[in-house]
A and B are shown apart, each in its own frame.
Chain A
């Protein structure tokens, strides 16, 4: 790379700027995390009845409730309770689940990979469809594909995610028999692959078990598709809109007036710029996805943290629910952090002005 030599100093500077941006962004995440902790704390204290009774569960005796009150420190002033709550969180103690008897932290840790695998696959499905669809629609206004994109993006946001899941089950399981029964991550005839990442697809490949891989893929297809359809709409809509805006911009006109090929204009000039708003939208998409995940897990009896929370809700078991809300929020904050870093990688303005 001879000619680039002179830019080396510049590149070093850019890397430092990038690092600076990441650090700065991480610091911005700190107040969000504090906010999350305060809100989850307040949620438990906002319980209309007696929080101790709530935590003790519906079947608890008076003595048991009193005992819970003391163990949880609910008889102490609010700030003491808060300090204690933060201390517990620091040690990873989220309390115990009444229904399973296990620590909530343990339950969430074991169930998280199931949820993560499903959500990520869902997102990949929708990105793979939505981005090309949006681009094609924007480059061919009023064509068939443009109309398809418009219908998809309006209809998509109107679909209740649990309803989509049920329809898919009815069609592909009941009518066609193509999909396996919507009962969890793996057919009962298979045993889960040895735990490495917790993602069955990855773990089964590591273990070299092709059968297990396909069995778990089969289970994943419908719920992932459900999530994919759900998040398709906002991504396609934003891709189309921002692509249209960029294609109408002055610099694309300059590129055209310079005789660059349509491919260069669309890919090098328009696409990268158009992706910026799409990446920003991803934050919102994740927000929707993590919420929709709860509903999809319930529909497909998926043993993730969402169904764990729903079970806890039904049993009026509050500690798991609190742990669930906290985990989801922390994950979401981290995802947003990643999104911002990704944004900075593409957009020099963020990086350098940081």
Chain B
């Protein structure tokens, strides 16, 4: 690397925020250098200060934040000392940014073409007569089909991936030298993520631009970047070439992060830090209690049944929703009949089974019907058609409303996607765990309920002293444990895991996944693991079902599906997962 004058030189940067509780340092003594044409990833978990660093570079920190110390130089210009006018000339023209949540990043009531024109006009790139043509040309460059039409579209008329392309168009309109991409693909489906990332890389490489990719995903950064900067708690802990970071991570945090990132060829155990005491004390999972807990006989009995009849049989399951929109008067006033059918099939005739003690992954991108399926199996919503048999009983025939109070309810439980959302903010952890026990278990008396809660807490590795806390006083991982404890409180036979780790940082995800595996082994439950991430599913599941547009594309043993996928869609999904080539 030629070390002449770097395009961007961040030296000893410290950013402070004034909050009600006083001054908080979001970023401390950070050094980052970006050479011309280089792509650098800044990787860190939430709260690591990676986004704040980039805002400081652009000087778009909100009012409460300020650069307290250090220097930022962009092509020799001192960003900290520059006037607001100078900065404005820089932004959009010399350095630009794309953001997470592309739909929100666009003005909802202005045509996307006009938004691009605004930027072109601001930096007087073209004369006003050619503005529209130029905007359309840029839309074309980001591979937006029919750019002339899309010029007139409003953001809400475009898909998430399409909006992100518009945001990219906006950022690249004036051919800047530096692009900062702040979690550009978070929230997008994995296949969309790949096309968006490929597009960014292609366009920036083509133009000789430098790129900063800010992400929580070490794999993504290593795949697309030349160098990776790892941040933790506002500090840079390691800077290394991408190809080296997986092979020889030097800082323990990087090692932990790297290990926790699910990759092909790793097992669940590999996700945990190699020396557990080194970084974060592993929560007491209290394995002895488990054995002493009086459950092994039961679990043994369950595993024995493995060879027998399947626990869950789903046949030709269908869920239809009325198509929203036109209704009542509007229908009368419509000239031609609606071309589309009146209903929309979220789940379109799927069949699968789950055996006792088995864990099955249900994988697909957003909108594929996987959550609708799991909610139906859970008996929270009613099916439109088909059969759901649980242990020989046709539970699909029981109305969702009536199901809540049946003894059957105990046997099917669920761990929810968002641990925060799934806990009542007014209930303590103990109260949340006790809820199913109070309603459905034959446990009487305050003490015995409390004792059961404490046993469950120990089982899921939640320190007992945290039981009296409210959700907002717990960390994400702790909340996830509470949710798991609640789900296993009634010794269910089938537990549905609905993206249980999607809202968690990778290191927490690693611990939670291991906990789930451990619980399954000791309690002999079956899992239906709903996820968008094949890599995560692979770690926990014996079999995988791939869904798309309400139908099952492919199902089979996990290794088989991953190694030799039959359906094209499965192959696309696998190919879209960022694989650092040097792993």
Contact = CB atoms under 8 A, between A and B. Distances in A.
A114 to B, nearest CB: 37
Contacts of B132: 3-4
Interface residues of B, number: 45
A269 B91 contact: no
Contacts of A250: 99, 101, 104-105
Given A258-B92, A260-B122, A3 B129 contact: yes
B473 interface: no
Contact of B89 (A3, A259, A352): A259
B275 interface: no
A253 interface: yes
Contacts of B156: 348-349
Interface stretch (B8-16, B58-66, B441-449): B58-66
A4 B130 CA distance: 11
Interface in B97-116: 97, 99, 101, 104-110
A354 B325 CA distance: 8
A260 B157 contact: no
Given A141-B63, A352-B154, A260 B119 contact: yes
Contacts of A3: 129-133
A70 B96 CA distance: 80
B97 A260 contact: no
Interface in A213-268: 248-251, 253-261, 264, 268
Interface in B66-119: 87-93, 96-97, 99, 101, 104-110, 118-119
Interface in A9-44: 10, 20, 23-24, 27
A2 B171 CA distance: 26
B107 A273 contact: yes
Interface string A319-354: 000000000000000000000000000111100111
Contact of B107 (A7, A259, A269): A269
B170 A27 contact: no
B131 to A, nearest CB: 7
A7 B99 contact: no
A62 interface: no
Given A3-B129, A268-B118, A273-B109, A259 B104 contact: no
A294 to B, nearest CB: 35
Given A24-B329, A250-B101, A251-B107, A348 B154 contact: yes
B152 A10 contact: yes
A255 B109 contact: no
A269 B110 contact: yes
Interface in B315-341: 325, 329-330, 333
A198 B154 CA distance: 43
A352 B87 CA distance: 38
Nearest to A248: B62
A272 interface: yes
B123 interface: yes
Contacts of B97: 254, 257
Given A4-B132, A260-B119, A255 B60 contact: no
Interface in B136-169: 148-149, 151-152, 154, 156-157, 167
B109 A258 contact: no
B154 A260 contact: no
A257 B58 contact: yes
Contact of B92 (A141, A259, A276): A259
A257 B109 contact: no
Contacts of B105: 250-251, 253-254
Interface string B161-186: 00000010011000000000000000
Q: Which of A4, A250, A346 has the most CB of B within 10 A?
A: A250
Nearest to A258: B92
B104 A352 contact: no
A258 B107 contact: no
Interface residues of A, number: 37
B60 A249 contact: no
A91 interface: no
Nearest to B171: A258
Contacts of A349: 108-109, 154, 156
Given A2-B129, A24-B329, A258 B101 contact: no
A352 B108 CA distance: 13
A259 B123 contact: yes
Given A24-B329, A254-B170, A256-B60, A346 B90 contact: no
A256 B108 CA distance: 16
Contacts of B92: 257-260
Contact of A6 (B88, B96, B148): B148
A352 B104 CA distance: 19
B107 A255 contact: yes
Given A257-B96, A259-B122, A349-B109, A249 B333 contact: no
A260 B118 contact: yes
Interface string B255-297: 0000000000000000000000000000000000000000000
A348 B110 CA distance: 8
A273 B149 contact: no
B109 A259 contact: no
Contacts of B99: 250, 253-254, 257
Contacts of B129: 2-3
Interface string A265-304: 0001100110010000000000000000000000000000
Nearest to A28: B329
Contacts of B63: 141
Nearest to A269: B107
A251 B118 contact: no
A340 to B, nearest CB: 15
A24 B108 contact: no
Contacts of A276: 109
A259 B170 CA distance: 11
A259 B90 CA distance: 7
Interface in A124-173: 141
Interface string B388-402: 000000000000000
Contact of A261 (B90, B122, B325): B122
Contacts of A260: 88, 92, 118-119, 122
A256 B89 CA distance: 11
Contacts of A346: 109
A348 to B, nearest CB: 5
A250 B105 CA distance: 5
A256 B91 contact: yes
B130 to A, nearest CB: 8
A352 B380 CA distance: 34
Nearest to B131: A3
B107 A352 contact: no
B60 to A, nearest CB: 5
Contacts of A264: 118, 122
Interface string B47-63: 00000000000101011
A258 B118 contact: yes
A20 B335 CA distance: 12
Given A10-B149, A251-B104, A257 B60 contact: yes
A258 B122 contact: yes
A7 B118 CA distance: 18
Contact of B109 (A23, A254, A347, A354): A347
Contacts of A23: 333
Nearest to B167: A254
Nearest to A354: B330
Contacts of A348: 109, 154, 156
A261 B124 CA distance: 13
7 contacts: A3-B132, A251-B104, A257-B97, A260-B92, A261-B122, A273-B109, A346-B109
Interface of A: 2-4, 6-7, 10, 20, 23-24, 27, 141, 248-251, 253-261, 264, 268-269, 272-273, 276, 346-349, 352-354
Given A250-B104, A256-B91, 9 more contacts: A7-B152, A24-B333, A250-B101, A254-B97, A255-B107, A258-B92, A259-B122, A264-B118, A348-B156
Shortest 10 CB-CB contacts between residues of A and residues of B? A259-B92, A259-B91, A3-B132, A258-B92, A250-B104, A257-B97, A10-B152, A254-B105, A27-B329, A258-B119
